[in-house]
Amino acid sequence: MTIVLQQAGGGGLQMIIMMVAIFAIMYFFMIRPQNKKQKEIQNFRNNLTVGQDVVTAGGIYGKIKEVNDAENAVMLEIASGVKIKVDKNSIYANASVNAAAGSK
């Protein structure tokens, strides 16, 4: 009986080591890259400037006409004379970078 108990104890230690290894793999391949991407997007949103071509999360392309940091909003011109007010958090990407990447 003592042999069986010793083997079971060793299996528990291996299980703990495997769980730690799985968590470490998940952190380095899933959580860390996603946090890095979120920081890049937030930095992009904080540095929005007038005249910049952007894409919203809903897929609307427009040019920034006004940035209102107090309301955390931007005014986008989506067509000649057509302006909409959107939340800064809905700005997803720089449209000029996406257009250049799509044409290659």
Q: Could you state, in order of their start, the residue ranges of all structural domains in the chain?
A: 1-47, 49-103
Q: In the beta sheet, which residues pair with residue 76?
A: 64, 84
Longest dimension (CA), the chain: 85
Task: Give the model's pLDDT for residue 11.
Answer: 74
Residue appearing with tokens 């809905």: 90
Residue appearing with tokens 């104890």: 9
CATH class of 49-103: mainly beta
pLDDT, tens digit, 9 for 90 and up, residues 36-73: 999 998 899 889 999 999 999 899 999 999 999 899 99
Q: Torsion over CA of 46, 51, 53 and 54, rounded to 10 degrees?
A: 30
Q: For the whole model, what pTM was predicted? A: 0.62
pLDDT category of residue 74 using cuts at 50, 70 and 90: very high
- Alpha-carbon span 84 to 74, nearest angstrom: 8
Task: Give the model's pLDDT for residue 17.
Answer: 93
